[in-house]
Amino acid sequence: MAEYKVKFEVFEGPLDLLLYLIKKEEVDIYEVNLTQLATQFIEYIETMRLLDLEIAGEFLVMASTLMYIKSRELLPLDQQVAVEGEDEGEDPRWELIRQLVEYKKFKDAAAQLQTLEARQENIFPRLPGKLELDLKPPAPRPEVSLFDLLNAVNAILKRVGQREDARDIFEDKWTVSEKIEHLLGLLKERARLNFSELFADAVSRSEVVVTFLALLELIRLKQIVAVQPEAFGAIEIRRVEPTAGALSPARLADSTPQSN
Amino acid sequence: MELKSILESLLFSAQKPMSAKELRDLLAAAAEQTPGDLTTGAFKKVKEGEIVAALEQLSREHAEANRSYRLVCVAGAWQFVTQPEYAPWLKALVGLKNRPSRLSQPALETLAIIAYRQPLTRVEMEQVRGVSVDGVMQTLTERGLVEHVGRAEVVGRPPTYGTTALFLEYFGLRSLEELPAADELRRIEVKKPVSLLTADPGLATAPPEQLQLKEEGKMQNEETEPGKAATALNN
Amino acid sequence: MELKSILESLLFSAQKPMSAKELRDLLAAAAEQTPGDLTTGAFKKVKEGEIVAALEQLSREHAEANRSYRLVCVAGAWQFVTQPEYAPWLKALVGLKNRPSRLSQPALETLAIIAYRQPLTRVEMEQVRGVSVDGVMQTLTERGLVEHVGRAEVVGRPPTYGTTALFLEYFGLRSLEELPAADELRRIEVKKPVSLLTADPGLATAPPEQLQLKEEGKMQNEETEPGKAATALNN
């Protein structure tokens, strides 16, 4: 009986112990003699008790199920059917066998996972060294244009304007709306303007700012677009043509392709 | 220039496993970085499906070449790996790094149940194992192999669990479909206590005839219609 | 188990080129780590000459296989390399890590303040923006757009920052003078605590005529010649 003790501690639970007992008898789960199995199982429990070892609750529950099955076997057939709560023909023997079969399947699957686990320990991924291409890797380039930066400037100016007297900054003759008119006028004459030339004639700092704010406003109103055709190229200002119908044929003829 | 060769060169040089989608994005990026180049341009808009097909072809070629390495797909990402028999030398190369300890028997059993039956609740796991899974579940969750995936539509709305991508990686599986004997194990009934009966029993309940088996622990699977298993898989 | 296959698996997984001697040492190490193992033991005392011969054989095999990579020996060290024609895609792979991303609005604003008011301290930036710039400054520094340029001559000598040459390159500017509306933004007052007053106000301090217009936190700066700001720009 001493061998039981050693073995007992290794069992995962009552189902594991039952499978061990069945395997020991070298019989198929479906052909197992449940009465005999119950006797053996209860013997193990008794051994555990004698050895004063702690018995997990699950084992005791299983022991009572097995004792029930065993006692039921002793009853004549006609009385077995009458057992309360089993009117649907649920047979506790069958239920136990089903549970054992299912458990065994997963125990086998666990063994296969264990094989995979061991195999995986021996598989090493290729870890190439860092690529050393003869060109220098592209430096991280922010996806922003000068216009993003200018917009940021505008945001700051606006905030500053809120907390200070805006007149201090825009003290000159130009107002933003005047500058808008002026820009639209220029764009009527020419399809596109260089960003830098817009500021070339500015006579004062504030005129630059006003021009700049006018541009941003027109962009916001979708009257013009600012494009930077090349990464480091000059920014161009183009008028957004409202519709083809609004244009005279002459203008269409000499107008360059629009960005929209 | 063949698609599969380009993919091979990329996987050969990549520092990590790459999915078909990532490879597709690289093909597009290469085309964008070389405007006007016809060679890269030709692969600008390759579809993921074509990439997967090329990778599978490549993987077969490498298996046939019978070299010391293979191209494999684990958890949806492709990578080159060495064959297990070279492990002794690779261990000398890499050094005996501290790999995670192997999983215990209870952990493996519980993991198997979750893998095949997911999503499922703790009570359902305990039904199969016949013992509590509390300690084991903590281990499995801490190791990132299983995770809480939802809640069962039954009284108390208990949490349900499933396996993670790391689970696939840990066992070197491409997907859950690759689990051994998957169809069979998924279909065995998990008995549920009455109070936990799901509104839609779905996969977890199998027709009783499957339980009739002939030999040792083998199930007598009646002509399983292919469609049925496939449906079950997607559950 | 063939010597050349073992060597192949090692070179396949090695992160750097390996010499015949290093490979020989690995074969010996593997044998030592697995005492009693006949397979590893068989390669315990392979000579360098044999290794070189096996590598040359291997290199020929790979050249014949005509794949996207080759085994080559450079300066006595062996490694797998990809064929040059795949460079466009490999560049995309390398570029993956430093993919450009948009600068956030806070980053842009901080960049604008630095561009127009450099050199200036963090405290001064925060004066204009009204919020902490710590996270933003880290981003801008990492991207090489701004850099530490000196120290302010005030108590604690805090570091000052300015834009880099890369900044000009990115925005297509020949010099800081080309920044649009430069003067105007320079006029925004930066309020300094008295303890931080610079000995030489330079650019970071606005010309006095503007300061007199503001009501809160104004500073009574002595006369500054108009030319000074422009000169400071080129610092």
Identify the closest residue of chain A to B191 by CA–CA distance: A99
Contact C175, C168 (CB under 8 A): yes
Q: Does A113 touch chain B (CB under 8 A)?
A: yes
Sheet holding B69-74, edge to edge: B18-19, B77-82, B69-74
Rounded Cα distance between A23 and C221, Å, is 97
Reading the block at residue A88, the tokens are 């649907």
Q: Which residues of chain A have pLDDT under 70?
A: 1-10, 75-90, 130-147, 149, 152-153, 155-174, 196, 199-208, 220, 228-234, 241-260
A78: Cβ contacts below 8 Å, ≥ 6 apart: none
The pLDDT of residue B121 is: 95
CA–CA gap between residue C113 and residue C107 (Å, rounded):
10
Residue of higher predicted confidence among A133 and B85: B85
CB distance A127 to B79 below 8 Å: no
Higher-pLDDT residue of B88 and C15 is: B88
pLDDT given for residue A190 in this prediction? 81
Average pLDDT for chain C:
76
C-beta separation of C147 from A121 below 8 A: no
Best probe of the B interface among A30, A106, A136, by most B CBs < 10 A, is: A106
Of C108, C113, C183, the CB nearest to A148: C108
Residue type, A177: S
Residues of A in contact with B106 (CB under 8 A): 12
CA distance A114 to A109: 9
The per-residue pLDDT for B77 is 93
CB contact under 8 A, B91 and C13: no
CA-to-CA dists, residue B91 to B14, C30, C77, angstroms? 21, 7, 21
From the list A15, A25, A35, the residue with the least C-alpha distance to A105 is A15
Q: Which two tokens stand for residue C166?
A: 């890369």
C157 vs A70, higher pLDDT: C157
CATH 1.10.10.10 location in chain C:
3-85, 105-204
| pLDDT at residue number A10 | 63
The pLDDT, as a whole number, for residue A156 is 66
Asked if B130 lies within 8 A of A14 by C-beta distance, the reply is yes
Residue C71 or residue A190, greater confidence: C71
Separation of alpha carbons B116 and B232, rounded Å:
11
pLDDT digit string, tens, across residues B30-78? 998 888 888 999 999 999 999 999 999 999 999 999 899 999 999 999 9
- Chain B touched by A107 (CB under 8 Å): yes
pLDDT of residue B60: 96
Least confident of A115-119, B63-67, B127-131, C211-215: C211-215
Select from A8, A26, A149, A166 the least CA-distant residue to C180: A149
- Averaged pLDDT, B112-122: 93
Q: What is the pLDDT of residues C183-197, one digit of tens each?
A: 665 665 554 443 333
> Across residues C208-223, what is the average pLDDT?
37
Cis bond before residue C88 (omega within 30° of 0): no
- Domain locations in chain A as residue ranges: 1-122, 143-260
Is pTM beyond 0.80? Reply is: no
CB atoms within 10 A of CB B128: 25
Residue B69 contacts residue C6 (beta carbons within 8 Å): no
Query: Rounded to a whole number, what is the distance in Å from the CA of C182 to chain A's nearest CA?
Result: 8
Q: How many CA atoms lie within 13 A of A99 on its CB side?
A: 23
Residue partners of A25: CB distance under 8 A and separation at least 6 = A32, A36
Judge whether A204 is closer than 8 Å to chain B, CB to CB.
no
Q: ipTM of the assembly?
A: 0.58
Residue numbers in C near A150 (CB within 8 A): 180-181
pLDDT in the model for residue C182: 59
Which residues contact residue A143 at a Cβ distance below 8 angstroms, ignoring those fewer than 6 apart? C100, C101, C102, C103
The mean per-residue pLDDT over the stretch C185-211 comes to: 43
Greatest mean pLDDT among A71-80, B177-186, C113-122 lies in C113-122
pLDDT attached to residue C185? 59
Integer angstrom CA distances of residue B196 from A96, B152, B158: 20, 9, 9
Averaged pLDDT, B9-20: 92
**Of A14, A101, A124, A115, which Cα lies nearest the Cα of B108?**
A115
Mean pLDDT of all residues belonging to chain B: 80
Pick from C68, C69, C94, C99 the residue to mutate for testing the B interface (most B CBs within 10 Å). Answer: C68
Q: Are the C-beta atoms of B43 and B30 separated by less than 8 Å?
A: yes
Residue B200 has pLDDT above 80, yes or no: no
Do the beta carbons of residue C162 and residue C114 sit within 8 Å?
yes
Residue type, C226: P
What confidence category does residue B95 fall into, taking pLDDT thresholds of 50, 70 and 90?
confident
**Cα–Cα distance measured from residue C28 to residue C22, given in angstroms and rounded to the nearest whole number:** 10
pLDDT at B103: 92
Number of H helices, E strands in chain A: 12, 3
pLDDT at B173: 92
Minimum CA–CA partner of B98 in chain A: A121
Pairing between strand C159-163 and C146-151?
A: antiparallel
Q: How many helices (H) and strands (E) does chain B have?
A: 11, 6
Q: Are the CB atoms for C46 and B116 separated by under 8 Å?
A: no
Cβ-defined contact of B88 to C40 (cutoff 8 Å): yes
Q: For residue A256, what pLDDT is reported?
A: 40
Does residue B100 contact residue B143 with C-beta atoms inside 8 Å? yes
DSSP class per residue in A51-64: TT----HHHHHHHH
What's the pLDDT score for residue C124? 85
* Chain A residue with minimum CA distance to B208: A98
- Under the banding of pLDDT at 50, 70 and 90, the label for residue B177 is confident
Query: Cβ–Cβ contacts within 10 Å for residue C32, how many?
Result: 12
What is the C-alpha separation between A52 and A45, in angstroms, rounded? 10
- Determine which helix (DSSP H) or strand (DSSP E) holds A94, and give its type and residue range: helix A92-120
Do B189 and A102 make contact, defined as CB atoms within 8 angstroms?
Answer: yes
3-state SS class at C186: helix
| pLDDT of the residue at B16 | 87
pLDDT at A89 (0 to 100): 54
CATH architecture of C105-204: Orthogonal Bundle (1.10)
Partners of A123 on chain B (C-beta within 8 Å) are 81-84, 87, 172
Q: What is the pLDDT at residue A179? A: 81
Q: What is the pLDDT of residue C221?
A: 39
Work out the angle between the directed axes of helices A92-120 and A34-50 (0-180°, nearest 10). 70
* CATH number belonging to the domain at A143-260, selected among 3.20.20.70, 1.20.1250.20, 1.10.10.580, 1.20.1730.10: 1.10.10.580
The per-residue pLDDT for range C3-43, each reduced to its tens digit, is 999 999 999 999 888 999 999 999 999 999 999 999 999 99
In this predicted structure, the answer to whether residue B204 has a pLDDT above a threshold of 50 is no
Q: Between vectors from CA C121 to CA C115 and to CA C125, what angle results, nearest 5°?
A: 60
Task: Nearest by CB to B89, from C30, C80, C92: name it.
Answer: C30
pLDDT at C5: 96
Name the residue with tokens 């006595």: C76
Helix (H) or strand (E) holding C163: strand C159-163
- In order of A195, A213, B27, C99, C181, the CA distances from A177 in angstroms are 18, 10, 49, 41, 18
Residues near A51 by beta carbon (within 8 Å), at least 6 away in sequence: A5
In sequence order, what are the residues at sequence separation of 6 or more whose Cβ sits closer than 8 angstroms to the Cβ of residue A242?
none
- Tell me: domain B3-85, CATH 3.30.70.260, correct? no
